[in-house]
Amino acid sequence: MAGQCSSRNRTRVAVRRAPAASLVVLLWQAQAACAAPPPPAAGIAAVTGTDSGVDHAADSPALKADDALEGDYSFRPPSYGPPGPTQGIPSGAELEAAGAVIGQVFLDNQNIFDLNDPKDDTKLFRLANRLHIKTRANVIRRQLLFKPGERYSQRRIDESERILRGDDYFYDAWIRAVSYKDGKVDLRVTTRDVWTLNPGLNLGRSGGENSYGVQLQEINLLGTGIGVKLAHSKDVDRTSNQVEVHDAHAFGTWTAYDLNYADLSDGHLRELTVQRPFYSFDTRWAAGVYAINDLQTDSLWDRGEVIDQFQDQHQGAQIYGGWSTGLRNGWVQRLSTGFTYDEHRFAPVDTWTGPTLVPEDRRFVYPWVQYDLIQDDYLKLYNHDQIARTEDFYVGTSASVRVGWAQRAFGSSSDALIYQGSASRGFMDGGTSTLLLAGDFSGRLTGGRVENGLVDATVRYYVEQSKNWLFFTTLTGTKGWNLDLDNQILLGGDNGLRGYPLRYQTGTGRALFTVEQRYFTDWYPFRLFRVGGAVFFDAGRVWGDVPLAQPNLGLLTDAGFGLRFGNARSALGNVVHVDLAFPFNGDASIQRVQLLISTEQRF
């Protein structure tokens, strides 16, 4: 949320990796499939009833049954890529120029599998559709930025599509005009659900270390959009037992909440967020509160080993409000202000027998003000970071800056100017290449000295070679100044240097360069996964001396190849990575082959 205080000043890594998503649920469905008799043949028309996909309430003219349309407007989503326009309907620009008004809006929420397709009409897939509770119509309706009777706006339709695609319980979303008569245009909102229950075992491996988890997670409880998670997990840092509940549209509004409660092997986590965000470009106000109580053991790393440990008791709270004039000439300006309390208390750990450096306690209590400038500019792309699904690439210009002032008089440990900011810019040549630039900075200015100063920069470049081939390269860099001891800059197998152990090198600066040749196949095994592959080369290094760490090893390089599995039918992870990486240098302890298995947000 705008101005949200960080849950923890955690170890600096370039990419967050999660355990590989479980396939247990799909295997379970396969074993149970033979027990279910086939249902009667069904068309694409929506089922009647408020809770089953279409609302016929008289006071909800936006929602109509599909069979209320005159003519054949049935829509089957393409295997991937955008659906074509409806024949005989003017373009969005032409409808806007003609002053068209939105008539009826038809909700077409499709189940996981399309039983009208003979390839999907199997016992297993019929059973999955029968067990799955489809997303309710009101969940879809409250995310639309337009209503019947309003002027047609292609921009609001495009933004509504992006909002729906941002929901993990939808595979994709399309909004198309299906009828135009007497100045009124009827719209069809088509979404496709994915399997959202995860009763399974998660396994992962990166940087030579394994992780696992057992969980029961439902991200769309009874089709309401509410997420519930019960999980037990273990990784290189700790064992965790977690309960989490979240809803992005509490009480049928844009108010969101997230409650996270966890007992850890080294402490606990209690975290609460309640906010009404800037959910669209035209949103005029936002507000929220945030609180955290977190106790855990922090570890410092070098050469893939722990070199120091200490206890970190973190407490924080924040309240904020924001205002905007909405979208004006393609740009949005927002002004937010808030108040933050952020405290860390450190202590030695009894179980640690090595050298010990303990960070100084710190507390900052301060008001702040934030300014955001955002341009409305997106592209729809395919087969870039995902496999066979719509990707919304932001290629506009955005900038954000926040400044706060902490004083001892307010209870802060020192007087400090606390700042943070970010900026991004995208470029598209109108053909096959896309360039994305992004950067951020943060820190404190105390007595003319920068403390915990950090600057990150990223360049991502894509070249479409054909429908199936894509060249990708990225360069990331990080530089720190007088970092807090618990805030490490790390480089290793868990954040991009795939041929090396996790958290292998540490310093005051880092750079990582990656080149990938990506291939997106048309193979669709079991009609559950989209498959891709990659050949890659990584080169990275760190600079600077940090306490307790050995001298850095200079430039490290690796190469490798791997498979990518895009999850086309469930919300249990976007892209599963299975990689073999081969390091070219480093110390003698490094294994010559690294196996990595993880779930990523990107290809």
- 9, pLDDT greater than 80: no
Q: Is residue 206 domain-shared with residue 189, that is, in the same domain?
A: no
What does DSSP say about strands 197-206 and 239-247: parallel, antiparallel, or unpaired? unpaired
pLDDT grade, residue 78 (50/70/90)?
A: low
* Phi, psi dihedrals of residue 427, rounded to the nearest 5°: -135, 140
Q: Is residue 189 domain-shared with residue 331, that is, in the same domain?
A: no
Q: Is residue 275 domain-shared with residue 367, that is, in the same domain?
A: yes
pLDDT for 83: 67
| Bigger pLDDT: 561 vs 64 | 561
Spatial separation of the C-alpha atoms in residues 448 and 51, rounded to whole Å: 60
**Residue range 127-176, pLDDT digits in tens:** 999 999 999 999 999 999 999 999 999 999 999 999 999 999 999 999 99
**Residue range 182-197, pLDDT digits in tens:** 999 999 999 999 999 9
Spatial separation of the C-alpha atoms in residues 237 and 298, rounded to whole Å: 8
**Residue range 484-502, pLDDT digits in tens:** 999 999 999 989 999 999 9
- Residue 345 is part of a domain; what is its CATH number? 2.40.160
In a domain, 25, yes or no: no
In a domain, 463, yes or no: yes
How many percent of the chain have pLDDT more than 70?
84
Q: Is residue 176 domain-shared with residue 309, that is, in the same domain?
A: no
User: Into how many domains does the chain fold?
Assistant: 2
In a domain, 546, yes or no: yes
> Residue 204: which residues within 8 A CB-CB, separation 6 or more?
17, 18, 19, 20, 210, 211, 212, 597, 598, 599
pLDDT grade, residue 71 (50/70/90)?
A: very low
**77-102: b or e for each residue (b if 16 or more CB lie within 10 Å)?**
beebeeeeeeeebbebeebeeeebeb
- 90, pLDDT greater than 60: yes
pLDDT grade, residue 600 (50/70/90)?
A: confident
pLDDT for 31: 32
Spatial separation of the C-alpha atoms in residues 447 and 437, rounded to whole Å: 33
pLDDT for 244: 98
Quick one: three-class SS letters along 512-572?
A: EEEEEEEEECCCCHHHCEEEEEEEEEEEEEEECCCCCCCCCCCCEEEEEEEEEEEECCECC
- 74, pLDDT greater than 80: no
> Residue 3: which residues within 8 A CB-CB, separation 6 or more?
318, 320, 336, 338, 340, 368, 370, 402
Q: Is residue 187 domain-shared with residue 219, that is, in the same domain?
A: no
Average pLDDT value for the chain: 87
Contact yes or no for 383/343 (Cβ under 8 A): no
For residue 498, what are its two tokens?
Answer: 């795939």
Q: What is the domain range of residue 584?
A: 196-600
For the sheet with 101-110, list strands across it: 101-110, 184-193, 170-181
Q: Is residue 181 domain-shared with residue 269, that is, in the same domain?
A: no
Q: How many CA atoms lie within 13 A of 321 on its CB side?
A: 1
Question: Among 64-73, 205-214, 392-401, where is mean pLDDT lowest?
Answer: 64-73
Q: Is residue 206 domain-shared with residue 188, that is, in the same domain?
A: no
In a domain, 168, yes or no: yes
pLDDT (mean) for 249-262: 96
Contact yes or no for 390/82 (Cβ under 8 A): yes
Q: Which of 174, 193, 212 is the last residue of a domain?
A: 193
| Bigger pLDDT: 61 vs 520 | 520
pLDDT grade, residue 601 (50/70/90)?
A: confident
- 338, pLDDT greater than 50: yes
Q: Is residue 250 domain-shared with residue 114, that is, in the same domain?
A: no
pLDDT for 51: 35
Query: Which residues does residue 406 pair with via DSSP β-bridges, in sequence order?
Result: 416
Contact yes or no for 159/280 (Cβ under 8 A): yes
pLDDT for 87: 82
pLDDT grade, residue 403 (50/70/90)?
A: very high
Contact yes or no for 100/93 (Cβ under 8 A): no
Spatial separation of the C-alpha atoms in residues 557 and 534, rounded to whole Å: 17
Spatial separation of the C-alpha atoms in residues 436 and 384, rounded to whole Å: 13
- 249, pLDDT greater than 60: yes
- 122, pLDDT greater than 90: yes
What value, to the nearest 5°, has the Cα angle with vertex 454 and ends 449 and 457? 140
Q: Positive or negative, the Cα torsion across 381, 386, 388, 390? A: negative
In a domain, 255, yes or no: yes
pLDDT grade, residue 64 (50/70/90)?
A: very low
Quick one: three-class SS letters along 387-417?
A: CCCCEEEECCEEEEEEEEEECHHHCCCCCEE
Q: Is residue 275 domain-shared with residue 369, that is, in the same domain?
A: yes
Closest CA to 576 of 538, 530, 536: 530
CA end-to-end span of the chain: 27
**Residue range 415-433, pLDDT digits in tens:** 999 999 999 999 998 778 9
pLDDT grade, residue 1 (50/70/90)?
A: very low
Contact yes or no for 445/405 (Cβ under 8 A): no
pLDDT (mean) for 532-538: 98
| Bigger pLDDT: 111 vs 39 | 111
For residue 405, what are its two tokens?
Answer: 């002032």
Q: Which DSSP category does 11 fall into?
A: P
In a domain, 2, yes or no: no
Place of tokens 């600079």: 543
pLDDT for 81: 52
pLDDT for 208: 61
Q: Is residue 442 domain-shared with residue 314, that is, in the same domain?
A: yes
Q: Which of 158, 193, 228 is the last residue of a domain?
A: 193
Q: Is residue 266 domain-shared with residue 399, that is, in the same domain?
A: yes
Spatial separation of the C-alpha atoms in residues 65 and 107, rounded to whole Å: 8
pLDDT for 3: 45
pLDDT grade, residue 360 (50/70/90)?
A: very high
Q: How far is CA 68 from CA 107, 498, 545, in A?
A: 12, 55, 70
pLDDT (mean) for 210-217: 80
| Bigger pLDDT: 8 vs 450 | 450
**Residue range 279-330, pLDDT digits in tens:** 999 999 999 999 999 999 999 999 999 999 999 999 999 999 999 999 999 9
Contact yes or no for 311/347 (Cβ under 8 A): yes
How many percent of the chain have pLDDT more than 90?
76
pLDDT for 571: 85
> Residue 130: which residues within 8 A CB-CB, separation 6 or more?
36, 39
Spatial separation of the C-alpha atoms in residues 274 and 288, rounded to whole Å: 6
Residue 43, helix vs strand vs coil: coil
What does DSSP say about strands 184-193 and 101-110: parallel, antiparallel, or unpaired? parallel
pLDDT for 235: 87
Q: Is residue 468 domain-shared with residue 580, that is, in the same domain?
A: yes
Closest CA to 480 of 507, 514, 449: 507
Question: Among 10-24, 146-160, 181-195, 465-479, where is mean pLDDT lowest?
Answer: 10-24
In a domain, 271, yes or no: yes
Question: Among 1-10, 15-24, 445-454, where is mean pLDDT lowest?
Answer: 15-24
Q: Residue 313 class from Cβ within 10 Å (0-12 exposed, 13-18 middle, 19+ buried)?
A: middle
Q: Which of 193, 211, 233 is the last residue of a domain?
A: 193
Contact yes or no for 541/563 (Cβ under 8 A): no
In a domain, 1, yes or no: no
Closest CA to 50 of 179, 137, 155, 116: 137
Spatial separation of the C-alpha atoms in residues 237 and 8, rounded to whole Å: 15
